Structure 1
Amino acid sequence: MTEAPKRPATMTLAAHFPDRTEAEWRELAAAVVNKGKPEDQSLSTDEAIASLRTTLEGGLDVEPLYTRPAEAAPLGVPGAMPFTRGRALRDPDVPWDVRQLHDDPDAATTRAAVLADLENGATSVWLHVGTDGIAAAEVAEALADVQLDLAPVVVSSWDSQPAAADALYAVLSASPAASGNLGHDPLGAAARTGGEPDLAPLAHAVRQLDGTGEIRAITVDTRVYFDAGATTVDELGFALATGVAYLRALTDAGVDLADAWRHVEFRVSATADQFLTAAALRALRRCWARIGEAVGIPEADRGARIHVVTATRMFTRDDAWTNILRSTLATFGASLGGADAITVLPFDTVAGLPTPFSRRVARNTQVILAEESNVARVTDPAGGAWAVEALTTELAEAAWGTFQEVERSGGMVKSLANGFVAQRISGARSERDASIARRETPIIGVSMFPLAGEQPLERRARQALEVGPNALVPHRDSSIFEALRDRAAAFTKHHGEPPRVTVPTLEVPRAADLRIAAANLLAAGGMEAVESGGAVDLAATDKGYAALAPDTDVVAVLSDLLDELGAPTA
């Protein structure tokens, strides 16, 4: 009788490393921070650790080290309270819904693009309807080739929501197995256009869908707040407040609370901060489930359905190819956070309507991550990582605080009307713009490592949306540098040559590195750096820098960059 094979010994990772206490780690980290500093400038251990701490927007602190808390809260499981780890277990074969956006006003073009997407990896369709998208009357034509029993369809609109919803309902009601969302979001539409919100159509839409379990009526689309400049914390808080406002409106109209709850879905932003994105989705589910618990929704139904979209705010017009990298990180973060559906905007979306190639890249960004990285084969892969768990808790608590502030202000309807929401967004945007302008928050390809001599992408323009004076207008992070480049382009057009700045090579340590830094800084504003012809001795010039290059309009001197490489020169 042969012996059963011996089971291999369990491999213990890091078994040969000595155990270290957190106090020892702090001392080692402080030693690294103080390395090379004069003794009289050395930081204490607490000061050194504090220097490694990062503060995110919204007052969120990221510590340099996370360990298991002494009394760690239970991690929970997917599909159960508090739903942090997911609305349900992930299906490894269909990990999330690959949802492509279509906003080309030409119905034939959109119809062909929809079919191409579905045949090449997309699993659902998103039509944007209205002035800045396809006409409501063309929705049926655009969806003519879609097998509605296989591919869900959702619509969105800023200025034609009732018409968009009616058009989609007419299509979906013809197929008993159809699924999707009619896209009612009157508060989001009012915020984007500056109009007055009309919540009356909500109850009619919900009753209209009675018995159609896979078609929902409402999408809480908080991209309007984030793209206007809101922090992630406030975006989540506004999402909760908007969802509660719709529940109130529906129940006041006689709709059963459980039925109203079923119809609410969320559409939120994803950024290149992958762990913040993941934590945000986990926090949103936790908070929404807590609201469901408070109002008596059965536990099994409390999990929030979340559609994630790569944020337009982070996209750049210049060096648009870098948007592919941002979208990849955002998609990865959305996957970690357990998104139900993900939309990757094409990298050229800022320039105008996308091309078949850019649509393919956007689609394949998801497909490759899902099928080749294996990130989609695990439910909540970041769960148990204490950095993510701590950030999730901090985000949930901060977002809940925003939600409470909105409620104290009278709810989301009144908070939009009285300017509370706009003021929060304006303050956050001002702080961010200042940080971006100082290049403390770098934007690759724009404020850092700009592509000199770049030719702008040429795309068909979208129709502009007409808005009122109180509208929350999208504001991309890179726009302040794009404005500088536009001024430089106007100078070039007028004078026949680009603005040039002389950057002399100084006789100082790291002179070549400093000159490259100055050239990059100038290129970020659309200006060219030119050589001065030789090394310059600062002591010999007696600050007479203009004499170094009398034929140029501006003279840049690298001495301003010695202390801070990002400081502008003049």
Structure 2
Amino acid sequence: MSEETNTTNEMKTLLDEFPRPSYADWKSAAEALLKGAPFEKKMLTKTVEGITLQPIYRKESVEGLPHLADMPGAVASPRSSQSAGYLDAPWDSVQEITAGDPAEYNKQLLDALQKGQTGAMISLDMATSLLHDPSEAGEGEVGACGLSLAQLADLKKALAGVVSEAISIHFKPGCAVVPMAAFLAAWCEENEVDPVKLRGAFHADPIGHWVGAGALPIPYDSMMDQLKAAFDLLDGVLPNFGLVGCSGIPFHMAGGSAVDELALVLAESVEYIRQLGKRGIAAADVAKRTVFTFSLGSNFFMELAKIRAARIAWARIQESFGIEEPTPMRATGRTGRFNKTTFDPYVNMLRTTTESFCGVLGGLEALTIGTFDECVRESDAFAQRIARNTHTILAEECELTRVVDPAGGSWYVESLTDEVVKAAWSRFQEIEAEGGIAEAFRKGKVAEMCGQSRADQQKRLNQRRFSLIGTNVYANLTEKLLDPRLPDYRGLVEERSAAVKEHPELKVDLEDSVSLVDAARMGATVGDFRRALLPEVGVFEEVPALTHHRLAENFEYLRKGAFAFEEKNGTPPKLYLVNLGPLRKHKIRADFTRGFFSSGGFDIEYPNGFDDADAAAEAFVASGSRVAVICGVDDQYAEMFVPFAKALKQKAPDCTVVLAGHPGDKEASFREAGMDTFIWIKSDNYETNREMLEKAGVAIGAAS
């Protein structure tokens, strides 16, 4: 008998000594530990998506799930779109460069490529994305949020020295997809780029632009005509380059949940297939050039399930259009901005690390990791290096390129994937019932959907059921805000206007791909393309845009108000803890109170405990605070709260007296004695801090 067999037999004998517990046994043991508290209330978790998470997942949790047998690379598989995962090639590191000038963009891009980046992201500035040359752009539009790329010469500068076959190239063109396609085609011809080997995508998403801006610069149908023209242009020049973009970023920034985001990008994909189908392009051809971009949020497993569920749903959509040879989903991702903060911004590094880890486990083919300071300023070299090196750590140190679909087979992940598919498909059908995503947006249904999820998340944050480190918990009251460096937009306008020469007499034909590329080669600007191709320009399809506010913004208004108060008065707003008796009595609630009000920017005085009410009131008056929080335990409150509250009100009639804890059946008598309000575990942290700051004389900015 071999040594291995002996070891196996010994293990079986050892395990036989222990009874195999059933789920019922485990649940009974858990209920005993809960000591009468409801199992469903304590052990089940309801998410923003409306999905209930179980405390434990078992083999029975995934029985009968149809996707379990699918292998990576299969069209309908939730696993990687590549059969070998990242074994053959890792994901592309596609970091954003915010420089508005083409030469500066090129300088930063070449530096980034030398340091490990493997893709170029060309996000257009507001002017270019609206088809405006620098000389005709509105104030603050040139260089805003991206690169000023008005003509082929600019693209040449931006990509000078780049080996196209070694990287992927990605565009965020806004409404300028036709000129960008013409510029890229001309650039490829001049640089003798092998069109089959050029990787990347345009991510042309006019619906995404529309929902974010609340309007289009040209009519909706004309925008779809532009998309069709770009499709025809690429068809003969760049056969493998992505074109149609279905981005979840606008919906994520509006507060949409993972299920909302997935449902809405699916609805986008269907709308593009239908619109291009009306213009003579087969659904299968549209699917091949469609690229999805997902925002990566803070709920790790939910975001992972979202990416995996998307592949199943995308296969189902292709099947519904009768596509005989469906295309595996091309999925890219970007760490989200919704949960990022301007206070304690270095915590954003931790957030983007877990989010990017999630994206890699989800099998994304390209990934953009936001910099920790992107919500404050134009990122510096340090911030860019940290974000870029996160890719390297995940690939080289975590060795995530050496495994294929490491999340596959997890009972939790597989079960959650199935639930996300079902929930997102149901919500997608609701959008379809409204007439598709365009009609749903016009009717306000998209805003309503995202708004409900946002309100739920905001409520959880305000009640501290969801934590943002440095914002509603563990606020750092001694930190210095980052310097909000911004580009010299005015100087950039003058520089770019002088560099770009227009050709107002240019003649091009939207249905003639050759003329479009020729025009680009001759120096046509985005403005020239607009004048030649679009007789109707202006403001069209005006609909209230999706509200884009970060989750932390309300709390940041509180902190900014406290900072402004300190600058004006020399000291921050004060709050005094009236601690009762010895430390062991008041510490728990005093610590809770200090954490609770730190998120509002209060300077909190934490004295030793008091036994005498008059002494406590005198110390409070001497502190200069307007808010007193009495901290102790319930048995102390029964005897001490009333005399302490009366003493405080007698010495400082205008002060605000707060009880740390719930008063229970003593609320009426406590209020009669002088209690103005109380805080406890279910209190609204934001509203309470706002109220107390205003009582302390702090002016607070508008809340979102």
TM-score by length of 1: 0.90
2:279 matched residue in structure 1 = 253
Deviation at 1:531, TM superposition (A): 3.1
2:147 equivalent to 1:153: no
For residues 438 and 408 of structure 2, the distance between their equivalents in structure 1, rounded to whole angstroms, comes to 35
1:289 matched residue in structure 2 = 315
- Where does 1:347-366 land on structure 2 (aligned, <5 Å)? 347-366=372-391
| Aligned counterpart in structure 2 of residue 99 of structure 1, from 94, 112, 128 | 94
Deviation at 1:553, TM superposition (A): 6.6
- Where does 1:321-470 land on structure 2 (aligned, <5 Å)? 321-461=346-486, 470=544
1:544 matched residue in structure 2 = 646
1:73 matched residue in structure 2 = 65
Deviation at 1:162, TM superposition (A): 4.4
2:667 matched residue in structure 1 = none
Work out whether residues 159 and 193 of structure 1, in 8 Å CA contact, stay in contact via their aligned partners in 2: no
2:603 matched residue in structure 1 = 528
Would you tell me which structure has more helix in proportion to its own residues?
A: 2
For residues 650 and 470 of structure 2, the distance between their equivalents in structure 1, rounded to whole angstroms, comes to 31
| Aligned counterpart in structure 2 of residue 187 of structure 1, from 190, 207, 229 | 207
Query: C-alpha deviations, 1:16-54, integer Å up to 9, x for none?
Result: 7531111111111112222xxxxxxx14xxx31442011
1:502 matched residue in structure 2 = 576
**C-alpha spacing 1:161/1:477, structure 2 compared with 1 (3 Å):** farther
Q: Which moved more, 1:234-243 or 1:249-258?
A: 249-258
| Aligned counterpart in structure 2 of residue 512 of structure 1, from 565, 571, 587 | 587
Identity of aligned residues (%): 28
Query: C-alpha deviations, 1:534-566, integer Å up to 9, x for none?
Result: 435653434236359859976654345785286
| Aligned counterpart in structure 2 of residue 316 of structure 1, from 324, 341, 346 | 341
For residues 158 and 385 of structure 2, the distance between their equivalents in structure 1, rounded to whole angstroms, comes to 19
Work out whether residues 649 and 655 of structure 2, in 8 Å CA contact, stay in contact via their aligned partners in 1: no
Letter of the structure 2 residue corresponding to residue 493 of structure 1:
E
| Aligned counterpart in structure 2 of residue 133 of structure 1, from 146, 169, 193 | 146
**C-alpha spacing 1:51/1:109, structure 2 compared with 1 (3 Å):** same
For residues 5 and 284 of structure 2, the distance between their equivalents in structure 1, rounded to whole angstroms, comes to 52
**C-alpha spacing 1:292/1:159, structure 2 compared with 1 (3 Å):** closer
* SS of residue matched to 1:308: strand
For residues 525 and 502 of structure 1, the distance between their equivalents in structure 2, rounded to whole angstroms, comes to 14
Q: How many residues align?
A: 556
Q: Which moved more, 1:253-262 or 1:238-247?
A: 253-262
**C-alpha spacing 1:563/1:484, structure 2 compared with 1 (3 Å):** closer
* SS of residue matched to 2:379: coil
For the pair shown, the structure with the greater C-alpha radius of gyration is: 2
Deviation at 1:511, TM superposition (A): 2.0
For residues 435 and 172 of structure 1, the distance between their equivalents in structure 2, rounded to whole angstroms, comes to 50
* SS of residue matched to 1:199: helix
2:21 matched residue in structure 1 = 20
Work out whether residues 586 and 609 of structure 2, in 8 Å CA contact, stay in contact via their aligned partners in 1: no
**C-alpha spacing 1:516/1:52, structure 2 compared with 1 (3 Å):** same
For residues 424 and 182 of structure 1, the distance between their equivalents in structure 2, rounded to whole angstroms, comes to 28
Q: Which moved more, 1:282-291 or 1:471-480?
A: 471-480
| Aligned counterpart in structure 2 of residue 564 of structure 1, from 681, 684, 695 | 681
Stretches of structure 2 that go unaligned for 5 or more consecutive residues are 127-144, 491-537, 612-635, 663-677, 693-704
Letter of the structure 1 residue corresponding to residue 71 of structure 2:
V
Deviation at 1:460, TM superposition (A): 2.2
Letter of the structure 2 residue corresponding to residue 61 of structure 1:
T
Letter of the structure 2 residue corresponding to residue 275 of structure 1:
F
1:83 matched residue in structure 2 = 77
For residues 199 and 440 of structure 2, the distance between their equivalents in structure 1, rounded to whole angstroms, comes to 33
Deviation at 1:8, TM superposition (A): 8.8
Q: Which moved more, 1:239-248 or 1:430-439?
A: 430-439
For residues 549 and 478 of structure 1, the distance between their equivalents in structure 2, rounded to whole angstroms, comes to 37
Query: C-alpha deviations, 1:170-213, integer Å up to 9, x for none?
Result: 43454223222123111001111111342221111111111423
For residues 100 and 161 of structure 1, the distance between their equivalents in structure 2, rounded to whole angstroms, comes to 21
2:192 equivalent to 1:118: no
Letter of the structure 1 residue corresponding to residue 215 of structure 2:
G
For residues 286 and 217 of structure 1, the distance between their equivalents in structure 2, rounded to whole angstroms, comes to 21
**C-alpha spacing 1:444/1:452, structure 2 compared with 1 (3 Å):** same
2:509 equivalent to 1:489: no
Runs of 4+ in 1 over 6 A off after TM superposition: 3-8, 11-14, 466-469
Deviation at 1:298, TM superposition (A): 3.8
For residues 430 and 102 of structure 1, the distance between their equivalents in structure 2, rounded to whole angstroms, comes to 32
Letter of the structure 1 residue corresponding to residue 78 of structure 2:
T
* SS of residue matched to 2:448: helix
Deviation at 1:391, TM superposition (A): 0.7
| Aligned counterpart in structure 1 of residue 553 of structure 2, from 471, 476, 479 | 479
2:232 equivalent to 1:207: yes
Deviation at 1:109, TM superposition (A): 2.9
Work out whether residues 95 and 120 of structure 2, in 8 Å CA contact, stay in contact via their aligned partners in 1: yes
Stretches of structure 1 that go unaligned for 5 or more consecutive residues are 35-41
For residues 179 and 200 of structure 2, the distance between their equivalents in structure 1, rounded to whole angstroms, comes to 16
* SS of residue matched to 2:318: helix
Query: C-alpha deviations, 1:289-318, integer Å up to 9, x for none?
Result: 11112223244x431111111001011111
* SS of residue matched to 1:335: helix
1:220 matched residue in structure 2 = 246
Letter of the structure 1 residue corresponding to residue 112 of structure 2:
D
For residues 176 and 240 of structure 2, the distance between their equivalents in structure 1, rounded to whole angstroms, comes to 23
Work out whether residues 308 and 342 of structure 1, in 8 Å CA contact, stay in contact via their aligned partners in 2: yes
Work out whether residues 276 and 391 of structure 1, in 8 Å CA contact, stay in contact via their aligned partners in 2: yes
* SS of residue matched to 1:377: coil
**C-alpha spacing 1:494/1:284, structure 2 compared with 1 (3 Å):** same
For residues 549 and 417 of structure 2, the distance between their equivalents in structure 1, rounded to whole angstroms, comes to 26
* SS of residue matched to 1:447: coil
Work out whether residues 222 and 235 of structure 1, in 8 Å CA contact, stay in contact via their aligned partners in 2: yes
Q: Which moved more, 1:435-444 or 1:228-237?
A: 435-444
2:52 equivalent to 1:52: no
Q: Which moved more, 1:540-549 or 1:134-143?
A: 540-549
**C-alpha spacing 1:397/1:555, structure 2 compared with 1 (3 Å):** same
Q: Which moved more, 1:155-164 or 1:205-214?
A: 155-164
**C-alpha spacing 1:115/1:553, structure 2 compared with 1 (3 Å):** farther
Letter of the structure 1 residue corresponding to residue 32 of structure 2:
A
* SS of residue matched to 2:474: coil
Work out whether residues 181 and 234 of structure 2, in 8 Å CA contact, stay in contact via their aligned partners in 1: no
**C-alpha spacing 1:533/1:283, structure 2 compared with 1 (3 Å):** same
2:82 equivalent to 1:62: no
Work out whether residues 59 and 411 of structure 2, in 8 Å CA contact, stay in contact via their aligned partners in 1: yes
Q: Which moved more, 1:191-200 or 1:55-64?
A: 191-200
**C-alpha spacing 1:533/1:26, structure 2 compared with 1 (3 Å):** closer
- Where does 1:265-304 land on structure 2 (aligned, <5 Å)? 265-299=291-325, 301-304=326-329
Letter of the structure 1 residue corresponding to residue 20 of structure 2:
D
Q: Which moved more, 1:166-175 or 1:383-392?
A: 166-175
For residues 545 and 484 of structure 1, the distance between their equivalents in structure 2, rounded to whole angstroms, comes to 30
Deviation at 1:501, TM superposition (A): 0.7
